[in-house]
Amino acid sequence: MPQFSGWGRNPVVTAQERIPENSGQLGAFLPLPYLPRGLGRSYGDACLPAPGHVSLSTARLKRMLSFNPTSGVLDAEGGVTLAEILDVAVPRGYFLPVTPGTRWVTLGGAIASNVHGKNHHGSGSLEHFLLELEVATPEGVFVCSPQANPDLFRATVGGYGLTGLITRAKVRMKVVASTQVECLRVRAKGLEDLFRLFDTHDGDFEYSVAWLDTLARGRGMGRGVLMLGNHAGAGKIVKVAETVRSQGETMRSMDPPVESMGKARAAVSVPFPMPGFLLNRFFLSAFNGLFYGVSGGSRRSVEAYPGFFYPLDRIGAWNLLYGRKGFFQYQCVIPDGEDAGSVGNRNVSERGIEAVLAFLSDHGLGAFLSVLKRCGDDQVMLPFCKKGYTLALDIPYRSGETLRLLDRLDELVLRHGGRVYLTKDARLSPSAFRAMYPEWRGWMETVRKYNPEARVDSAMARRLGLWDA
Ligand SMILES: Cc1cc2nc3c(=O)[nH]c(=O)nc-3n(C[C@H](O)[C@H](O)[C@H](O)COP(=O)(O)OP(=O)(O)OC[C@H]3O[C@@H](n4cnc5c(N)ncnc54)[C@H](O)[C@@H]3O)c2cc1C
**3-state secondary structure (DSSP) of residue 240:** helix
Return the best residue to mutate from 10, 115, 370 for the ligand 1 pocket (most ligand atoms within 8 A of CB).
115
* Selection from 60, 106, 109, 116 nearest residue 83 by Cα: 106
Phi-psi region of 105 (alpha: psi -120 to 50; beta: other; left: phi over 0): beta
What predicted TM-score, i.e. pTM, was given to this entire model? 0.93
Protein residue whose Cα sits closest to atom 44 of ligand 1: 161
* Selection from 49, 46, 51 nearest residue 8 by Cα: 46
Protein residue whose Cα sits closest to atom 36 of ligand 1: 109
Q: Which domains does the chain have, with CATH numbers?
A: 180-232+268-428 (3.40.462)
CA distances from 34 to 17, 93, 163, 177 (A): 9, 38, 11, 42
Largest Cα separation within the chain, whole Å, is 62
70 CB contacts (<8 Å, ≥6 apart)? 245, 248
Across-strand partners of 49? 458
What is the C-alpha to C-alpha distance for residues 173 and 158, in angstroms, rounded to an integer?
19
**pLDDT tens, per residue, the chain with 469 residues:** 899 999 999 999 999 999 999 999 999 999 999 999 999 999 999 999 999 999 999 999 999 999 999 999 999 999 999 999 999 999 999 999 999 999 999 999 999 999 999 999 999 999 999 999 999 999 999 999 999 999 999 999 999 999 999 999 999 999 999 999 999 999 999 999 999 999 999 889 999 999 998 888 888 888 999 999 999 986 555 433 443 443 333 333 343 333 333 355 677 777 777 666 666 666 677 667 766 666 667 889 999 999 999 988 988 888 888 888 899 999 999 999 976 555 558 899 999 999 999 999 899 887 777 999 999 999 999 999 999 999 999 999 989 999 999 999 999 999 999 999 999 999 999 999 999 999 999 999 999 999 999 999 999 999 999 999 7
Protein residue whose Cα sits closest to atom 6 of ligand 1: 100
Sheet strands (E) in 305-432: 315-316, 327-335, 370-375, 388-396, 419-420
Phi first, then psi, for residue 108 (nearest 5°) are -60, -40
Ligand 1 atom at minimal distance to the Cα of residue 125: 11
Helix, strand, coil percentages (3-state) for the chain, rounded to 5, are 35, 25, 40
